[in-house]
């Protein structure tokens, strides 16, 4: 079973107290980051006290992302004296190990020898972790770096990289998948793009992953709080059989889709995990991601949400690969959902438009046939929403700040394009904001002057951060029925869930602990 190690980075509260807390919270191991704790006496006292968790003793150098700025000789002496108190594991950087005969000798004395059979009944010394932290990138020839570590005489090998985006993190996982059955490995990528390596450590049989006591106590970029790893990502239930889903975008750190889909899967008893997958903005990067996941069969990637700026890239990639594309995605000119079919082929769909229609119907708007709908915006969301409205028989007028984009979309969908400046005067039964105006942090903006609300149209704002935008507030004050972008978001996500899992998400129950929809609304209000 892959363990969870929690680093301690401060002498306060007292270390024995912290050990009790993190053990109760679910940690299997604790890393004493002596360089960050910066209180050798506190560490020494903690090592002398009785304890029930194995410890990793680490005095990380600045060169590899730590805070130790003393010389090697002092560090070796410190590791030796603390190591004699038998924490369980001693972590030393491979670079230091290779350059310092003194360190090899002293650390060798406090660690079990790999080549010596253990004598029955003999007290075990420590296990040696040799580690490598690349703070600048992820080398192209990752295999050579892993080979170098694998040749080292350690019980555990640890490799940590800085990814450009999730593609590098996936390459790290590919190496882990190849090697973790024959040696004990820890292989991670840092930052938001590395989140997948922290969660899927359990799928690929790593010795351990790291999680922080809380957000402010992370010892490395991208290290998530233990609670998030256990609750949202259900780390304890991840195994080799767990299916992987995720959201591809740039950035993805603020996406609420992981919260929603992971909770729905938990409620439905599905063995799957949904992860943020940030991919650099170019088409080439997107195509490279798809090539990587095709090659990496053990990843078991079964479905993707696609968001800005990759919706058009996904459509292009599917076309270039002769893959199936739904009519909704064809007419929207964008794909927001990818699913892998039984034979391994990818299929593209778009649930944005259907999600908007679903939210309108749920709000009691009745038939859309012959209804006059004013769509503000001509970007990806507008395309999907307008195409679905037209398919439902609505009379759509598109207006956009950049008039040429409105004209192009009107021509592509065979509907009217109006002037942005005239938007408040255009007659409409329904107004749908598909611009990003009013989105956090610019919450005091609105895409529609108050005059546009005088005739009391129904107003749907696709923006869902904040949950109630200025447009919705003003519409409500003017007596208009309103529909929140959260309802559209939930509806389009539910359609994705249906496509991937063949069933609707479990019904929401706001009173039930862990209810996905209630958690989403709470996260938006936080
Ligand atoms: P996009 O492709 O980048 O399009 C952005 C649109 O907003 C364009 O029409 C753009 O006009 C317009 N715009 C941006 N700043 C503006 C300003 N200051 N004044 C006037 N117009 C402005 O983005 P998208 O994918 O369509 O997303 C748009 C919004 O829809 C986002 O807020 C997104 O969160 C939301 N959305 C919600 C859901 C949901 O489920 N609720 C689903 C998808 C999208 P120009 O062409 O002139 O630049």
- Say whether 186 sits in a helix, a strand or coil: strand
pLDDT tens, position by position, 363-398 = 999 999 999 999 999 998 999 999 999 999 999 999
CA 430 to ligand 1 centroid distance, Å:
18
**Tens-place pLDDT, residues 401-445:** 999 999 999 999 999 999 999 999 999 999 999 999 999 999 999
Under 8 Å between Cβ of 460 and 483: yes
Distance from the alpha carbon of residue 248 to the mean position of ligand 1, in angstroms:
18
In this prediction the pTM is: 0.94
Please enumerate in sequence order all residues whose Cβ is within 8 A of that of 99, keeping only pairs 6 or more positions apart, or say none.
72
Contact yes or no for 24/46 (Cβ under 8 A) = no
For the stretch 44-96, pLDDT in tens is 999 999 999 999 999 999 999 999 999 889 999 999 999 999 999 999 999 99
Measured from the Cα of 378, ligand 1's closest atom is 9
Q: What is the C-alpha separation between 343 and 498, in angstroms, rounded?
A: 19
Kindly give the distance from the C-alpha atom of residue 438 to the centroid of ligand 1, in angstroms, as a whole number.
10
Q: Whose CA is nearest to atom 4 of ligand 1?
A: 379
* 262 pLDDT tier (thresholds 50, 70, 90): very high
Whether 508 has a pLDDT exceeding 90, the answer reads no
CA angle centred on 315, ends 314 and 319, rounded to 5°: 115
Ligand 1 probe mutation, 377, 466, 486, most atoms within 8 A of CB? 377
Q: Which residue owns the Cα nearest ligand 1 atom 1?
A: 379
Q: List, in order, residues 6 or more apart from 247 with CB less than 8 Å away.
A: 255, 257, 258, 274, 275, 276, 277, 304, 305, 306, 307
**Residue-averaged pLDDT of the chain:** 95
CA of 369 to the centre of ligand 1 (A): 25
| Residue 382 Cα: closest atom of ligand 1 | 26
**Ligand 1 probe mutation, 381, 463, 490, 493, most atoms within 8 A of CB:** 381
Can you give the pLDDT at residue 78? 96
- Alpha carbon of 31 to those of 208, 215, 221, 241: distances in Å? 11, 16, 16, 29
Q: Residue 476: is its pLDDT beyond 70?
A: yes
3-state SS, residue 510 = coil
Cα 358 to ligand 1 centre (Å): 20
User: Would the pLDDT of 117 be above 80?
Assistant: no
Let me know the angle formed at the C-alpha of 72 by 66 and 74, rounded to the nearest 5 degrees.
Answer: 95
Average pLDDT over residues 6-19: 97
CA of 434 to the centre of ligand 1 (A): 5
Is the model's pLDDT at 133 over the cut of 90?
A: yes
CA distance 468 to 66: 43
Q: Which of 176-185, 393-402, 506-515 has the lowest mean pLDDT?
A: 506-515
Q: Which two tokens stand for residue 228?
A: 């998030």
CA distance 496 to 258: 13
Residues framing ligand 1 (Cβ under 6 A): 308, 352, 355, 377-382, 400-402, 405, 434-437, 439, 462-464, 485, 488-489, 492
Q: Pick from 45, 2, 1: which is nearest to 18 by CA?
A: 45
DSSP codes, 133-179: E-SS---S-HHHHHHHHHTS--SEEEEEE--SSHHHHHHHHHHHHHH
User: Looking at residues 455-465, what average pLDDT do you find?
Assistant: 97
Cis ω for the linkage preceding 13 (within 30 of 0): yes
Q: What is the pLDDT of residues 270-287, one digit of tens each?
A: 999 999 999 999 999 999
The pLDDT of residue 466 is 94
Mean pLDDT for the stretch of residues 217-226: 97
| Protein residue with its CA nearest to atom 21 in ligand 1 | 401
Q: Please state, in angstroms and as integers, the Cα–Cα distance from residue 440 to each residue in 31, 286, 465, 524, following that order.
A: 38, 27, 6, 11
Token couple for 522: 């709470």
| 465 CA closest ligand 1 atom index | 34
Mean pLDDT value across residues 332-358: 95
Which atom of ligand 1 lies nearest, measured to the CA of 406? Answer: 46
pLDDT value of position 515: 83
Q: Which two tokens stand for residue 137?
A: 């990138």
pLDDT > 70? residue 353? yes
Cα 163 to middle of ligand 1, angstroms: 29
What is the structure's pLDDT at 287? 98
Residue 513 has pLDDT above 70, yes or no: no
Q: Is 342 left (phi over 0), alpha (psi -120 to 50) or beta?
A: alpha
Per-residue confidence band for 342, with pLDDT thresholds at 50, 70 and 90: confident
User: What's the mean pLDDT in 169-189?
Assistant: 97
Average pLDDT for residues 223-228, to the nearest whole number? Answer: 98
Pairing mode, if any, of strands 301-306 and 337-340?
Answer: antiparallel
Q: Which two tokens mark 267?
A: 């409620």
HSE-up of 282 (CA within 13 Å, CB side)? 6
Rg, Å, the chain Cα set: 27
Q: Which residues are catalytic?
A: 311
**How far is 305 from 168, CA to CA, in rounded Å?**
20
Mutate to test the pocket of ligand 1, among 249, 250, 435 (most ligand atoms within 8 A of CB): 435
Looking at ligand 1, which residue's alpha carbon is closest to its atom 22? 435
Q: Which atom of ligand 1 is nearest to the CA of 405?
A: 46
Nearest CA to ligand 1 atom 6: 435
Ligand 1 pocket mutation, candidates 434, 452, 483, criterion most atoms within 8 A of CB: 434
State how far the Cα of 275 lies from the Cα of 259, in Å rounded to an integer.
Answer: 9
Rounded CA gap, 413 and 396, in Å? 9
Beta strands in 290-356 (DSSP E): 301-306, 324-325, 337-340, 346-349
For residue 462, how far is its CA from the centre of ligand 1 (angstroms)? 9
Q: Which atom of ligand 1 is nearest to the CA of 438?
A: 32
The partner residues of 276 in beta bridges, in order of sequence, read 247
Which residue owns the Cα nearest ligand 1 atom 33?
Answer: 463
Task: Name which residue sits closest to atom 34 of ligand 1, judged by CA.
Answer: 463
Q: What is the pLDDT of residue 404?
A: 98
Looking at ligand 1, which residue's alpha carbon is closest to its atom 13?
435
Q: Of ligand 1's atoms, which has the minimum distance to the CA of residue 463? A: 32
Give, using CA atoms, the residue closest to atom 31 of ligand 1: 436
Q: Which two tokens stand for residue 315?
A: 């459509």
In this prediction, residue 487 carries a pLDDT of 96
What tokens were used for 58? 């680490």
CA 401 – ligand 1 centroid, Å = 11
Q: What is the pLDDT of residue 116?
A: 78
pLDDT in tens, 286-326: 999 999 999 999 999 999 999 999 999 999 999 999 999 99
């Amino acid at each position: 079973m892959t363990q969870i190690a929690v680093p301690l980075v401060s002498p306060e509260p007292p270390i024995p107290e912290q050990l009790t807390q993190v053990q109760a919270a679910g940690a299997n191991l604790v890393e004493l980051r002596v360089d960050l704790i910066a209180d050798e006496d506190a560490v020494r006292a903690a090592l002398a006290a009785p304890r029930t968790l194995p410890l990793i003793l680490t005095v990380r150098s600045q060169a590899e992302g730590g805070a130790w700025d003393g010389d090697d000789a002092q560090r070796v002496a410190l590791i030796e004296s603390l190591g004699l108190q038998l924490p369980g594991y001693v972590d030393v950087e491979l670079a230091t190990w290779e350059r310092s005969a003194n360190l090899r000798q002293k650390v060798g004395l406090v660690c079990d020898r790999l080549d010596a059979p253990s004598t029955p009944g003999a007290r075990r010394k420590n296990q040696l972790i040799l580690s490598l932290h690349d703070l600048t990138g992820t080398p192209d020839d990752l295999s050579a770096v892993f080979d170098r570590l694998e040749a080292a005489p350690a019980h555990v090998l640890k490799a940590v990289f800085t990814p450009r985006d999730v593609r590098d993190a996936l390459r790290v996982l590919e190496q882990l998948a190849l090697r973790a059955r024959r040696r004990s490995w820890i292989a991670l990528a840092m930052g938001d793009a590395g989140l997948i390596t922290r969660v899927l450590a359990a799928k690929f049989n790593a010795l351990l992953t790291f999680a922080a006591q809380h957000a402010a106590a992370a010892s490395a970029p991208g290290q998530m709080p233990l609670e998030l790893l256990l609750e949202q990502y259900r780390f304890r239930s991840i195994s080799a059989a767990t299916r992987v889903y995720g959201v591809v975008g740039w950035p993805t750190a603020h996406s609420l889709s992981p919260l929603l889909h992971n909770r729905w899967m938990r409620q439905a008893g599905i063995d799957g995990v949904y992860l943020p997958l940030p991919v650099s903005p170019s088409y080439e990067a997107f195509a490279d991601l798809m090539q990587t996941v095709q090659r990496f069969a053990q990843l078991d990637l079964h479905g993707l949400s696609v968001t800005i700026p990759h919706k058009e890239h996904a459509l292009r990639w599917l076309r270039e690969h002769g893959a199936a594309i739904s009519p909704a995605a064809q007419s929207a000119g964008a794909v927001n959902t990818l699913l892998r079919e039984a034979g391994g082929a990818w299929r593209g769909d778009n649930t944005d438009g259907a999600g908007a229609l679903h939210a309108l119907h749920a709000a009691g708007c009745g038939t859309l046939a012959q209804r006059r709908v004013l769509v503000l915006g001509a970007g990806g969301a507008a395309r999907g929403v307008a195409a679905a409205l037209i398919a439902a028989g609505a009379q759509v007028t598109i207006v956009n700040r950049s008039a040429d984009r409105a004209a192009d979309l009107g021509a592509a969908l065979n509907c009217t394009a109006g002037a942005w400046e005239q938007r408040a005067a255009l007659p409409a039964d329904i107004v749908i904001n598909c611009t990003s105006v009013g989105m956090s942090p610019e919450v005091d903006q609105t895409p529609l002057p108050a005059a546009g609300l005088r005739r009391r149209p129904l107003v749907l704002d696709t923006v869902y951060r904040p949950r109630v935008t200025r447009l919705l507030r003003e519409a409500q004050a003017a007596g208009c029925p309103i529909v929140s972008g959260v309802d559209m978001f939930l509806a389009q996500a539910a359609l994705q869930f249906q496509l991937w899992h063949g069933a609707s998400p479990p019904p929401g129950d706001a009173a039930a602990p862990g209810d996905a929809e209630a958690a989403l609304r709470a996260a938006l209000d936080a």
